[in-house]
A and B are shown apart, each in its own frame.
Chain A
């Protein structure tokens, strides 16, 4: 069942039309990857789904409500590309603050810190953390309220392979539990861990399908080749 549906979305940023008459449906209970070169509209699409992007026309529905409506603000977890955390607070203080903004008590904080593997850094100031640790802190905030829709913009940039594997395992568990998980990435081998792939380039959806079918259709062995085949096909 589609928990996110985008219909005829047009977004302009400055003089640039980033998305034009764009439509897509994203299912709950699946791990959906949003891939494509930078500048292709991934972040704009994500921001439209979260409801922080000013749109020109079209409709974005999340869990049956217009994106950004007040009833969704508890139910959509959002991680921006640059970690949106307070550098001058500790990891714990960041989580305590956002928990109170979400109307939660502190009971889930230890579990959440554990799920992003930041136990040993909980009382460190975020500014003193490495880039990867900072983005995991940002991810932890999005996970706090156990939102049924999780929208993550490049959450694994700058992480080492072990952490990336662990985080993808976490995304997999969340999706298998029935949540909608949309993860953007420009690393193609990561994308292979998804159920469904959205290939976005220059604001156009080159593919929206399961990986085996994508590989069969393009006659390729991996996502990167499939992507290149689709781009060459589009250019021809």
Chain B
């Protein structure tokens, strides 16, 4: 436990020293939300605004985690940690915890601004919007960690964004409702984690009391998180070539 919390603290300290990154993490989602609210008439914003709140943390945490773990590999700190009494899963959960704190801050600000300034309307509880945004952020972190083993350079890591994230954006129901996708794309969409995040956020948008189907899909998001953590701990190697 101590190794998990100290790793989380260390990651947060690193980010705290990097004020510009912190500012970007907190302000960019708000800026994008505002932009979306100005582009679209209010009814459309009400429909997609909440989904956007879930998608920003997914993308930002995925990117930040990919680059941060790549830096750990390149600087040799990861190799050093794994030659010490550090369990691989401690390392991963430490990162998850750090980014949970960060995404809590991020989504508090984003939801606050969306609701009180941009007047985003949704039927479900406000805290659930934050919980889902945080869960999606956990998904981004776990996926970033699992995939970072495949990238040897920053250039490769950044390419994972169009390769892994953008297809999910197209298929998650943000642009086209998932049930009107054709019979090839719909099953693919069912396999992608972001689809479940958008389904849950659509539920929060429409239902004052969340249905069991929404809760079930919320569970699926966390199953993906656990799956990615397991894959991440398998792709993290103590011994390398």
| A-side interface residues, number (CB < 8 Å) | 32
Stretch at the interface among A99-107, A202-210, A214-222: A99-107
* Segment of B80-88, B199-207, B226-234 engaged in the interface with chain A: B80-88
Stretch at the interface among B11-19, B110-118, B135-143, B158-166: B11-19
Residues of chain B within 8 A of A82, CB atoms compared: 75-76
What residues on A are CB-neighbors of B80 within 8 Å? 78, 80, 84, 98, 141
Chain B residues near A89 (CB-CB < 8 A): 10, 13-14, 17
Instruction: Say whether, besides A73-B85, A97-B6, A102-B84, A80 and B76 are in contact (CB < 8 Å).
Output: yes
Interface residues, chain B, with chain A CB atoms under 8 Å away: 2-3, 6-7, 9-10, 13-14, 17-18, 75-77, 79-86, 238-241
| Docked-complex contact B3 and A51, CB < 8 angstroms | no
In angstroms, Cα B77 to Cα A82, docked, is 10
Inter-chain contacts of A80 with B (CB < 8 A): 76, 79-80
* A contact face: mostly helix, strand, loop, or mixed: loop
A-side residues, CB < 8 A to B, are 13-14, 50-55, 68, 70, 73-74, 76, 78, 80, 82-89, 93, 97-98, 100-103, 125, 141
Kindly list chain A residues whose C-beta atoms are within 8 Å of the C-beta of B241.
13-14, 53-54
A to B contact number (C-beta, < 8 Å): 81
Q: Provided the pairs A52-B79, A84-B79, A87-B75 are in contact, do residues A98 and B238 lie with their beta carbons within 8 angstroms?
A: no
Distance between Cα atoms of A62 and B25 in the complex (Å): 46
Q: Is the interface of B mostly helix, strand, loop or mixed?
A: helix
> In the complex the two chains form, what is the Cα distance from A114 to B77 in whole Å?
22
Q: Tell me the minimal C-beta distance from B92 to chain A in angstroms.
A: 14
Q: Point out the residue from A14, A53, A54, A85 that lies within 8 Å of B77, measured CB to CB.
A: A85
Question: A51-B239, A87-B75 are contacts. A101–B83 as well, Cβ < 8 Å?
Answer: no
Q: Is B239 in contact with A85, judged by CB distance below 8 angstroms? A: no
Given A14-B241, A82-B75, A100-B3, 13 more pairs with CB closer than 8 A: A50-B83, A53-B239, A54-B241, A73-B84, A76-B83, A84-B79, A85-B77, A87-B75, A97-B7, A97-B9, A97-B10, A101-B84, A102-B84
**Looking across the interface, which residue of chain A has its beta carbon closest to that of B3?**
A101
Please indicate the chain A residues that have their CB under 8 angstroms from the CB of B86 in the complex. Answer: 73, 101
CA distance A82 to B79 in the complex (A): 12
Q: Are A53 and B240 in contact (CB under 8 A)?
A: yes
